[in-house]
Amino acid sequence: MSSLSTESTPRERLDRAISVLGRVRMYWRGMAAMIAVGLSISLALALATKRVWRSEATILYRETIQTGRDPQSSTARAARLGPKLKDALIARGTLAGVIEAFGLYPEKTARSMVEAVEEMKSHVGFRAQSSDTYVISFTHDDPRVAQQVAARLTQILIDDYRRDSLGAATMTRDFLRRELAEASAKVDEASRALATFLAKNPQFQWGLNDSPYAPAPQPLGSPGAPAPAAARASPPARPMDPQLAALERQLARVEALLGVARSPAAAPGQPLPPSVVDAQRARDAAAAALVSAETALAEKLSTVTPIHPDAIAAKRRVEAARSQLAAAESALGLVRAGLTEVPRGEAGELTPARRAALSAERSALLRQIAGLRARAGGGRAAAGGESRRALEAAGGEARRAPAGPDGDAEERVIELETEWHRLRLDLERAREYLKAVQANERAADLSADAAENKSETELDVLDPAYLPSRPDRGRGRVFFAGAAVTFFFALGVAGARVLLNDTLYDGGDIHALGGPALLAAMPELPPQPPLRERAIVPAYGAAPAAAHEDGGVRPSEPAGPAPGQPGLAEPGQPGFAGPGQPGFAEGEEDTLPDGLELEGDAGPRSPWSAPEPASSAAEEAWSAAEPASGAPGGPLACVGPRHLAYAGGAGFREPEVEILGADVDPDGCGVFELLRGAPASALAALRVLRHRLDQRRGGEPLTVAVVSPGRAEGKTAVAARLAMTLAEAERARVLLVEGHLARPRVAATLGLRLPAHASFSEQLRRRMAGEARPLGVIALSPSLSVLAEPSLEASYPAALHSIHFEAAMRALRRYYDYVVLDGPPVLGSGDANVIEDACDGVLVVARASVTRASSLARAVEQLGERRILGVVLNDVAARPVARKRIEVEEPAT
């Protein structure tokens, strides 16, 4: 069989929450008091409150001309405008002017204008109604003043916004105009710098193929060496001197021959492109093919090794592209030299002598051209400088011809190219900035003109301020608002009291502690009057010997009158139970008082007989014991189905327990009146508790102590009803023992008037004095007995701490199936710990609506969980109630 889950379900948690919330009703008196006070205060405030009127005006934000200055949408711009308008509306200067104009708040204005402004701020309202509409409101005790002030505030806000918009537009326009002038000046400066560079370097031009060195530098004296700018420059206008033109053509032919010699891809007799533009395009195409081949080679090498066939093929394509590029560059040089095909017989590899001769011829031509230009230029500084540069370049090249390329020429080309690109970039940036400033300046002009004409963005009154017809805050609203606050406050206080209260009300609170398990929950029983006090019918024989004050023993006195004498209950008199009456079994009518016989008689036996030992081991212990000196020689023992012999007879043993008398109630049910009228739920809880104790007993005698954390928790009533339930239908022999000797309540709860010699503490005291007598008990029914104190004060309360108390509990355990002790409160003394040591188990009784969780936790901690059987929650009400703890425990609850 599967075990049940201990986790709570959502329904159980919901029920638990509802149960806890229901406890708010316990504090209805306090809630009623707080609600009454709150309603009184609300009524007083409502009567003292003046009526307040509210007037509102709606303004519309619209944009009529789109200038494009703001990239945000109109909705976002309007949402951003809301806080700005609100700040302008509640500005101190604006409100102060309105206060002075309408004479508002004269009392506060007389003290300080700051106080009046703060007061008006609380009456001015501003909110965004939609994306482009705003509402301005003002409250006042005069509706006309509220309307006029709302209209004035609206007009002030619109005028301020228009004035601010016009000022901002004008300032923006003036600023952008200054920016435009500065941008134009920067463009002029960049243009002048570029023109100056072009004038100094005529080989550069504006347009297609701007740089004479693009796309790649031209060779000069050796493969890969750039040529001087003066030697390769293509001036915009050729000189008019025919000799100079012939020399230049001859120089171009020599340079072409040197270039063709460095390019093995040029074949003799091969036709060249018809023009320089075509040759340049062919060269660019070859360069693009080389870049593509190199990119493909890099991609292949990222995935395969260099010896892979695909990588080798890609390398071959790169080499072929390089050869084609070299051929295209050679063809471009020949076309620029004025040739239409590659000269025959001069291509291929030149011998060193032939190369030296061509180089010398080239240097001579350069000198001649420089001299002619110097003579033809005369005073032209640019031509003179150019001729000097040409001469220096030619001389340097002649000196360094065998050594290799011209390093200074390369540096010069790099400097020229860098300066050229920088000047062009400055000019382009200046022009772009100028365009942006021009666009902004045009938009600013448009915005400024629109603001001046009130046609760009403006605030218009959509709904003017109206005259209010109903008060915004009247007396009724104040009262209802105060009432709502009062109700919520009262509920909050009650809820806080519930959450902070640790009093136990139901089983859920026991489970929430996580301590001992809840064994049973006793419902609240209806109130009933105390049991009628009844005298005990004594057994025949002498009373136990009483000790003299000097320590001696005086002779025993009879325990009760003889039959027929006063004091003994006769049939038909009070105190005698006849046949069929509660408390008597079948055949009882002949047992008391005439049924009490001496041992050895064969007459009928009484059910009010002393119990027999529970085992043979107990009989061996009794046989070893000897009667104490001074004990009466012939006390009568009750005769019954299970009887004991009395001491003094030959071969008989001294009993450990004897019956001193019986409770006979012919007019009622005796002690069982406590269960009369109990609801079925209470009987069910007691029987469930009995079932749990039967499981714990397991067929062996069990001693159970009933304790409580404090006083007035009903443990005595629970112990008495538990003992009656255990003895129900004579299913077990049960003894109810008074264990709270400091405040005994068992006899008073059961309505018994016990004789003095039946006192439990007195019997323990006689044993402490050395007197050995059986423990005397009072029979309440055939299966239920009691051992209690005659009065509300024990004769000797300290007897609880003697070793004779534990010995007495062991002796009683041998004669009864259940020994139920009405124990003391746990907190405040150590008596409960003494009871715990002498018992097999402890039941902790907690009273609902009285016991606190902290008290129960401390009581469990003091006892320890070694022998605690569980918790019995007593007096559980159908609805949580608030009870007050009383000092004296109520016996009948």
For 767-798, the pLDDT digits (tens) are 999 888 899 999 999 999 999 999 888 888 89
Contact at 8 Å (CB) between 735 and 786?
yes
Q: How far apart are CA 130 and CA 291, in angstroms?
A: 61
Query: Which has more pLDDT, 823 or 10?
Result: 823
Q: Give mean pLDDT, residues 406-434.
A: 79
Query: Which has more pLDDT, 159 or 348?
Result: 159
Q: How far apart are CA 540 and CA 601, in angstroms?
A: 15
CA 290 vs CA 81, 284, 878: distances in Å: 60, 10, 100
Query: Which pLDDT belongs to residue 773?
Result: 87
In the DSSP assignment, the letter for residue 755 is -
202, pLDDT greater than 60: yes
Token representation of residue 395: 């001389």
Q: How far apart are CA 430 and CA 425, in angstroms?
A: 8
Q: How far apart are CA 214 and CA 541, in angstroms?
A: 147
Q: Give mean pLDDT, residues 282-303.
A: 88
Burial (Cβ within 10 Å: 0-12, 13-18, ≥19) of residue 472 = middle
Burial (Cβ within 10 Å: 0-12, 13-18, ≥19) of residue 315 = middle
Dihedral angle computed from the Cα positions of residues 699, 701, 707 and 713, in that order, rounded to the nearest 10 degrees = 60
Least confident interval from 175-189, 392-406, 785-799: 392-406
Specify the 3-state DSSP secondary structure of 836: helix
C-alpha atoms less than 13 angstroms from C-alpha of 741 in its C-beta half-sphere: 23
323, pLDDT greater than 80: yes
Closest CA to 220 of 192, 184, 258, 187: 258
pLDDT of 638-678, one tens digit each? Answer: 333 333 333 333 333 568 899 999 988 877 788 888 888 78
Q: Is 473 left (phi over 0), alpha (psi -120 to 50) or beta?
A: beta
Query: Which pLDDT belongs to residue 450?
Result: 65
Query: Which pLDDT belongs to residue 378?
Result: 55
- Name the β-bridge partners of 61: 459
Sequence-separated (6 or more) residues with CB below 8 Å from residue 274: 340
In the DSSP assignment, the letter for residue 216 is S
Query: Which pLDDT belongs to residue 256?
Result: 67
% of the chain with per-residue pLDDT over 70:
69
Query: Which has more pLDDT, 64 or 843?
Result: 843
Dihedral angle computed from the Cα positions of residues 641, 647, 649 and 653, in that order, rounded to the nearest 10 degrees = 70
Closest CA to 799 of 744, 850, 848, 851: 744
Specify the 3-state DSSP secondary structure of 786: strand
Sequence-separated (6 or more) residues with CB below 8 Å from residue 97: 156
429, pLDDT greater than 60: yes
Contact at 8 Å (CB) between 854 and 502?
yes
Least confident interval from 165-174, 183-192, 385-394: 385-394
Angle at 183 between CA 177 and CA 185, to 5 degrees: 110
- Name the β-bridge partners of 663: 536
Q: How far apart are CA 133 and CA 324, in angstroms?
A: 73
Query: Which pLDDT belongs to residue 203?
Result: 67
Neighbour-count burial for 598-630, b at 16+ CB within 10 Å, e otherwise: eeeeeeebbbbbbbbbbeeebeeebeeeeebeb
Q: How far apart are CA 367 and CA 248, in angstroms?
A: 11
Q: How far apart are CA 838 and CA 820, in angstroms?
A: 12
**Would you mind telling me the total number of residues written for the chain in this entry?**
893
Specify the 3-state DSSP secondary structure of 281: helix
Contact at 8 Å (CB) between 462 and 58?
yes
Contact at 8 Å (CB) between 57 and 465?
yes
Residue 76 CB coordination number (10 Å): 12
- Provide the pLDDT confidence category of residue 72 given band limits of 50, 70 and 90: low
Token representation of residue 576: 């005698």
CA 580 vs CA 439, 590, 593, 634: distances in Å: 122, 13, 16, 33
Average pLDDT, the chain: 74
Residue 417 CB coordination number (10 Å): 16
Residue type, 470: R
CA 799 vs CA 684, 764, 766, 804: distances in Å: 37, 6, 10, 8
692, pLDDT greater than 90: yes
Contact at 8 Å (CB) between 494 and 30?
yes
The dihedrals phi and psi of 68, each to the nearest 5 degrees, come to: 80, 10
Query: Which pLDDT belongs to residue 860?
Result: 93
pLDDT of 1-11, one tens digit each? Answer: 333 444 568 88
% of the chain with per-residue pLDDT over 90:
26
Least confident interval from 116-120, 375-379, 712-716: 375-379
Query: Which has more pLDDT, 555 or 26?
Result: 26
Angle at 776 between CA 774 and CA 781, to 5 degrees: 130
pLDDT of 215-261, one tens digit each? Answer: 444 443 334 444 443 334 444 444 446 677 677 767 777 776 666 55
Q: What is the 3-state secondary structure (H, E, C) of 471-512?
A: CCECHHHHHHHHHHHHHHHHHHHHHHHHHHCCECCCHHHHHH
Please tell me whether the peptide bond between 607 and the residue prior to it is cis, using omega within 30 degrees of 0: no
Contact at 8 Å (CB) between 18 and 880?
no
Q: Are strands 657-663 and 534-538 parallel, antiparallel or unpaired?
A: antiparallel
Token representation of residue 619: 């009989």
CA 46 vs CA 155, 487, 718: distances in Å: 35, 17, 57
- Most confident range (mean pLDDT) of 67-81, 532-546, 597-611, 815-829 is 815-829
Residue in the block written with tokens 């100028």: 434
Contact at 8 Å (CB) between 702 and 696?
yes
Q: How far apart are CA 146 and CA 160, in angstroms?
A: 21
Contact at 8 Å (CB) between 493 and 30?
yes
Residue type, 6: T
Q: Give mean pLDDT, residues 112-137.
A: 89
Q: How far apart are CA 864 and CA 29, in angstroms?
A: 40
Contact at 8 Å (CB) between 646 and 634?
yes
Query: Which pLDDT belongs to residue 262?
Result: 52
Token representation of residue 141: 């005790």
In the DSSP assignment, the letter for residue 347 is -
pLDDT of 147-166, one tens digit each? Answer: 999 999 999 988 888 787 77
Token representation of residue 599: 């041992």
Query: Which pLDDT belongs to residue 67?
Result: 54
Residue in the block written with tokens 């230049």: 248
Sequence-separated (6 or more) residues with CB below 8 Å from residue 791: 744, 747
Token representation of residue 596: 């009490």
pLDDT of 433-466, one tens digit each? Answer: 888 888 887 877 776 776 666 555 577 888 899 8
Query: Which pLDDT belongs to residue 206?
Result: 56
Sequence-separated (6 or more) residues with CB below 8 Å from residue 396: 406, 408
Closest CA to 747 of 734, 736, 732: 736
- Name the β-bridge partners of 876: 523
Burial (Cβ within 10 Å: 0-12, 13-18, ≥19) of residue 879 = exposed
Distance linking the first and last C-alpha atoms of the chain: 40
Sequence-separated (6 or more) residues with CB below 8 Å from residue 440: 69, 176, 179
pLDDT of 700-757, one tens digit each? Answer: 999 999 999 998 899 999 999 999 999 998 999 999 999 999 999 999 999 999 998 8
326, pLDDT greater than 80: yes
Least confident interval from 405-409, 435-439, 544-548, 721-725: 544-548
Sequence-separated (6 or more) residues with CB below 8 Å from residue 157: 59, 85, 88, 89, 136, 459
- Provide the pLDDT confidence category of residue 80 given band limits of 50, 70 and 90: confident
- Provide the pLDDT confidence category of residue 352 given band limits of 50, 70 and 90: confident
Q: How far apart are CA 333 and CA 219, in angstroms?
A: 9
pTM, full prediction: 0.49
Query: Which has more pLDDT, 191 or 645?
Result: 191
Report the run of H or E that residue 729 belongs to, with start and end: none
Q: Give mean pLDDT, residues 418-433.
A: 85
